[in-house]
Amino acid sequence: MGAQPAETSEGYSRVHRVAELIGIVTLLGSIAYGTYLVAVQATDWLRGGLVLLGVFIGYLLADFGSGIVHWLGDRYGSVDTPLVGPNFIRPFREHHVDPKGMTRHDFIETNGNNSLVTLPVIFACFWIFPLQAAWGLFGFCTIVSMAAWVFATNQFHKWSHEDDVPGWVLWLQRNHVILGVRHHDVHHTYPYETYYCITSGWLNEPLHRIRFWSRAEALVEAVTGVAAYRDDNDPSKS
């Protein structure tokens, strides 16, 4: 049987909430500092162009990364998996049991996990990329952009499930800047096996057409012997 509400709604501990709060504050501070460093280095048209390209590539990487994490959370492990189960897999399984549940989460619970998983990446980029070099500026800007979009991803996801959103959010959804309601409905159609990307959703259709997710699951099973989790809660049979 698929997961039940009582199994997925439990497990959000106070310790994890404190970690999420620290993660949000630290990540936002890192993004702000990174943005300042990029602005200082964008001294001519060439470097400014690299910054804009980096912002766009980071946007696409965030969408793809959101799909990978979403896919893993939906398809592998369980709420009982040590450490990651209650803290990271639980929200994904809860979401399919109660899609509106995340609309009742506050800002910290909505965005905390994304902050925690992004912090190591943005910390690393401060050490890896020399901003004086063009390639370093591009790489640094790409990672900072990706981190910013990843941070906002669960907020975009939450808005796609809310019945009433601000007008500017609706405009962004309708113009495909962020995840749209009808677009995301495809993922919430049984058997819930596609359209995992939830930042903008731009990559969902291309990945669906090349059967990226089903092929990835076949590869994982062939290499590890672990089959993907299947949700048997078909709403049409309830």
141, 50 contact by CB (below 8 A):
yes
End-to-end CA distance of the chain: 13
Q: Give the integer Cα–Cα distance in Å for 25 and 122.
A: 13
pLDDT digits (tens, 9 = 90+) for 140-159: 999 999 999 999 999 999 99
The answer to whether residue 13 sits within a structural domain is yes
Identify whether 84 is part of a domain.
yes
Domain membership of residue 235 (yes or no) is no
Residue of 122 and 2 predicted with greater confidence = 122
Q: What mean pLDDT is predicted for residues 105-123?
A: 93
The secondary structure element, H or E, covering residue 231 is: none
- Find the domain containing 112 and state its range: 5-226
116 falls in which pLDDT band (50, 70, 90)? very high
pLDDT in tens, 18-34: 999 999 999 999 999 99
pLDDT of residue 194: 94
In a domain, 232, yes or no: no
Specify if 236 maps to a domain.
Answer: no
Residue 62 counted as domain residue: yes
The yes-or-no verdict on residue 5 having pLDDT over 80 is no
Question: Where residue 233 falls among pLDDT bands split at 50, 70, 90?
Answer: low
pLDDT band of residue 108 (cuts 50, 70, 90) is: very high
Give 234's DSSP letter. -
Write the DSSP assignment of 4-15 as a string of letters: -HHHHHS---HH
The number of domains in the chain is 1
